[in-house]
Amino acid sequence: MHLRYTFRVYPTAPQRAALAQVFGCVRTVFNDAVAARRKAHAEGLPYPPTAVLDKRLITEAKRTAERSWLAEVSTVPLQQALRDCHAAYRNFFDSLSGKRAGARVGPPRFKRRSHRQAARFTRNGFSLRDNGRLYVAKVGELRLAWSRALPSEPSSVTVIKTATGKYFASFVVAVDEDAGRLEPLADPEAETGIDLGIKDFAVLRGGRVIENPRFFRKLERKLKKAQRALSRKQKGSANRAKARAKVARVHEQVSNRRDDFLHKQVKTIVAENQSIYVEDLNVQGLARGRGAKSIHDAALGRFLTLLESKAARAGRTFARVDRFFPSTRLCSSCGSLTGPRGMEGLSVREWACGCGAVHDRDGNAEINIRREGQRLVREHMVAAGQAETVNARGQDIRPGVPGGSGNPREGKKQEPNRTRLASASR
């Protein structure tokens, strides 16, 4: 398993100039590769392979007057730029043909100088010195702020310059599969469902609520003010560059606060629960409707991705419940579908069922998600031959039992491809 470790870099003025030259050369080679493949497509010719582009855009280009400055930097990041372009096109074609899962991706676009800059070096282009500094070919020894030691020798490093002018070094290291595994929790009740939302970020077992921090909303006025100031600056001027950096700093502040919040919540949930059950939300679909800005601000999709990854590394059981499972409408007491539904039911926070039970909207959804997740895990274990066909209470774990071990969707066939399990038994 490979992980990334990122550290802040503090280059000197000559090193910043050398890195700027590296970033410019990497950007030029990448853009030349995109232009060459676009030209081949327009002329109806096959796409030139990476080896041909390597010779044409790097080796031969260094001998020309227009691209002679490519010889002033290391060849390693230039070759990696071509491989990045090739990978981007491969992902684009795989997305078109359906080989690549997930959302549709577009073809690679030209890189811009004002955006994030990056250059990747393999083992031939960098080394870690005994004095704790990072040596980069034709740049020098960079001073790093080491917050922790690397678990193994890195296979590559990516030097990054953000839009705000900060520098980082991102190392790729190989770690053992069991390196982050936690001890199993002895408490059988150490499991939770998670009902995600906008009013409250998440509701966990026992009514525990994680409040929605709304980081973008809190800095939205500051961002608008900075964007208005940017729009008044003359293009190409120094003042416009300063105003652009100020806008980028606001975005960076929002992103850093959100990432810190998500990582802390994920770490706490994984440490306190042996089994975690969530709803497989269609975040992209939700973000196209009313409240799209709040959906993006909450970063629900990133939270689920981090939670699934961390649970797998820690050896916890993780299950996604089908997005069509009626967790809000289902009464957790009697199993009837009497809860609020549709857009008109979003404002209903509490509701009473015909059986006499009064439910909190999010707390009831958490119970249903947890029960459905338990049922899915048991079915998975039975299919794998790891469990009996009845649970600990002697109930049949086949669909149809409303007490948490059946599918309450009134005969609708379960779609197994919508449910993903990550458990310690993998």
Beta-strand runs (E) in 74-174? 117-122, 126-128, 134-136, 140-145, 156-161, 167-174
362 is catalytic: yes
Active-site position among 32, 362, 366, 372:
362
Distance in angstroms (rounded) separating the CA atoms of residues 347 and 106: 38
Instruction: Report the C-alpha gap between 33 and 43 in whole angstroms.
Output: 15
CA angle 411, 417, 423 (to 5 degrees): 110
Hey, what amino acid is at 56? R
Distance of CA 340 to the CA centre of its chain: 32
Cβ count near 329 (within 10 Å) = 19
Helix (H) or strand (E) holding 421: strand 421-422
Cβ-based neighbours of 27, under 8 Å, separated by 6 or more: 81, 111, 113, 117
CA distance 66 to 30: 16
Q: Which of 390, 335, 382 is nearest to 359 (CA)?
A: 335
Cα–Cα distance list, 12 to 140, 170, 211, 218, 245 (Å): 10, 19, 42, 35, 20
Work out the end-to-end distance of the chain between its first and last CA atoms, rounded to an integer number of angstroms: 14
Catalytic pick from 32, 191, 279, 379?
Answer: 279
| Structural contact between residues 176 and 260, judged by C-beta atoms closer than 8 angstroms | no
Q: Is 297 known to be catalytic? A: no
Contact 198, 294 (CB under 8 A): yes
Instruction: Tell me which of 54, 195, 297, 379 is the catalytic residue.
Output: 195
Using alpha carbons only, give the angle 330, 332, 336 rounded to the nearest 5 degrees.
Answer: 45
Q: Would the CA dihedral through 281, 284, 290, 291 be positive or negative?
A: positive
Question: For tokens 């980028």, what's the residue?
Answer: 248
The set of catalytic residues is 195, 279, 362
